[in-house]
């Protein structure tokens, strides 16, 4: 696993949308330990926190995003019932959760599901749905290039996506000869209001982690670019890293793994802490 720096990427522009919902912050304390802020939505930070706790790292849980229904959510059950596709593509744990909701509403029809990575597959497996394809690297462009064609099939992929999802998967699938039916089934919204006393604990942290561009924009909107630029910013993958560059965070403060995943993300956090002298140069 290799951790990369943001300057290897070209930043992109994204629309800003925030929610006024106030959230609480949960803190795990360890005296003298380096401190890391985890910013995924409620219920999605546990794995990263567990990976970091193995190294006695203190985690401040500050959820900065929440999910809302997308404009095409109600179409999903009917499309699943119709079955006019070879694959359903799920590209995140939230995508998998939304698929499962629509699949149950459709009467649990037999469908062939492809997932971008292990974390997404785990959500499906827990509900009794076994993915029939998992990409070798958790990236949409890799998933599109690797997805097998079904002999005698329609070469159509149903893609229940986030409103804010890029076209990486669609473009890759199209290049591989598939037709893509994308429906925007959910949206990721940044949270703009948190308890100010607890936010101060997050501002005292050494590293901030991001699992989506929406979390990046919500953090900078909350604390300001100057304060955000004083942290090491560790992203789950290249999409969030580009968002960090896009909002103006210094390139030498942005780190991300070449292959998204919890263990890889945690390893990049350790590298960031090493860079600022909060951990020894070598961590077992």
Q: Report CA torsion sign: 20, 186, 245, 239.
A: positive
Q: Which residues of 203-228 are buried (b: 16+ CB within 10 A; e: fewer)?
A: bebbbbbbbbbbbbbbbbbbbeeeeb
Which residue would you say has higher pLDDT here, 212 or 10?
A: 212
Answer yes or no: is pLDDT of 2 > 80.
no
CA distance 165 to 56: 34
19: number of Cβ within 10 Å: 17
pLDDT tens by residue, 148-169: 999 999 999 999 999 999 999 9
Identify the pLDDT of residue 25.
39
Q: Please, which pLDDT band fits residue 1 given cuts at 50, 70 and 90?
A: low
Identify the pLDDT of residue 17.
36
Average pLDDT, the chain: 89
Q: How do the residues of the chain divide into helix, strand and coil, expressed in percent and rounded to 5?
A: 40, 25, 40
Identify the pLDDT of residue 232.
97
Answer yes or no: is pLDDT of 31 > 80.
no
Residue of 220, 231, 162, 164 lying closest to 191 (CA atoms) = 220
Token match 């509900």: residue? Answer: 127
CA distance 142 to 251: 25
CA-angle at 258, arms to 257 and 259, nearest 5°: 90
C-alpha distances (whole Å) from 261 to each of 47, 51, 203, 231, 245 are 10, 11, 25, 22, 21
């Amino acid at each position: 696993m290799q951790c990369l720096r943001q300057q290897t990427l070209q930043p992109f522009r994204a629309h800003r949308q925030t929610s006024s919902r106030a959230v609480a912050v949960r803190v795990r304390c360890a005296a003298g330990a380096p401190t890391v802020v985890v910013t995924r939505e409620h219920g999605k930070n546990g794995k990263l926190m567990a990976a970091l706790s193995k190294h006695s790292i203190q985690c401040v849980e500050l959820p900065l995003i929440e999910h809302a229904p997308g404009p095409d959510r109600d179409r999903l059950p009917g499309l699943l019932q119709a079955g006019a596709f070879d694959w359903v593509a799920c590209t995140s744990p939230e995508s998998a959760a939304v698929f499962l909701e629509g699949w149950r509403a459709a009467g649990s029809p037999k469908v062939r599901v492809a997932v971008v990575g292990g974390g997404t597959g785990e959500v499906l497996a827990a509900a009794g749905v076994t993915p029939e394809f998992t990409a070798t690297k958790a990236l949409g462009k890799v998933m599109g290039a690797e997805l097998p064609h079904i002999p005698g099939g329609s070469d159509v992929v149903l893609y229940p996506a986030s409103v804010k999802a890029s076209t990486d998967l669609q473009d890759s699938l199209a290049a591989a000869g598939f037709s893509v039916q994308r429906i925007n089934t959910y949206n990721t919204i940044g949270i703009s209001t948190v308890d100010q006393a607890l936010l101060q604990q997050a501002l005292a942290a050494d590293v901030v982690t991001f699992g989506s561009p929406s979390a990046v924009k919500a953090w900078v909107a909350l604390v300001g670019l100057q304060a955000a630029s004083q942290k090491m910013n560790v992203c789950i993958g290249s999409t969030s890293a580009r968002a960090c560059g896009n909002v103006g965070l210094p390139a030498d403060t942005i780190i991300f793994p070449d292959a998204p995943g919890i263990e890889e993300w945690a390893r990049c956090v350790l590298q960031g802490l090493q860079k600022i002298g909060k951990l020894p140069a070598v961590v077992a």
